[in-house]
Amino acid sequence: MFEHKSQRLLTIAQFAARMGRSGLWVAAIAVLSLALGTAGYCYFADLSAVDGLLNAAMILTGMGPVDRMTTAGGKLFAAFYALYSGIAFLSMMAVLTAPIFHRIIHKFHLEEDNSSEDARP
């Protein structure tokens, strides 16, 4: 997925394309997570689609629930969706920042290799 440290650094255009792909993956995870949450809230908590989407979005972003869960199924779903949302959020941040951290470390290794070559007799 990422280039080896012995390979050259990506151009800005190639890096932008990599960031774009990461952004698309994050958008896909977010859309699927919102769809899962909306469907779950509608089914288990007997909420309307708009209220289900609102609750799913609020939980997924870490803001907290909007509606009080009155059914046992709704409460269980909310608990498991909250746990899932934490993992999904961390995964989205990892996917989005991995290319940035890789580029920084790759550039550091390239500079380190160049300085060690200069020190050789």
Model-level pTM? Answer: 0.79
Cα–Cα distance for residue pair 107/74, rounded to 1 Å: 49
Full residue range of the structural domain in which residue 33 is found: 22-113
CATH of the domain at 73: 1.10.287.70
Which of 98, 106, 95, 93 has its CA nearest to residue 11? 106
User: Under a CB-based contact definition with an 8 Å cutoff, are residues 19 and 97 in contact?
Assistant: no
In this structure, is residue 75 part of a structural domain?
Answer: yes
Residue 83 has a pLDDT of 96
How far is residue 37's CA from residue 55's CA, in Å, rounded to a whole number?
Answer: 8
pLDDT, averaged in runs of 10, over the chain (121 residues):
67 89 96 97 96 96 90 95 95 92 76 56 53
Q: Which amino acid, residue 99?
A: P
Examine residue 17 and state whether it is found in any structural domain, yes or no: no
Largest CA distance in the chain: 76
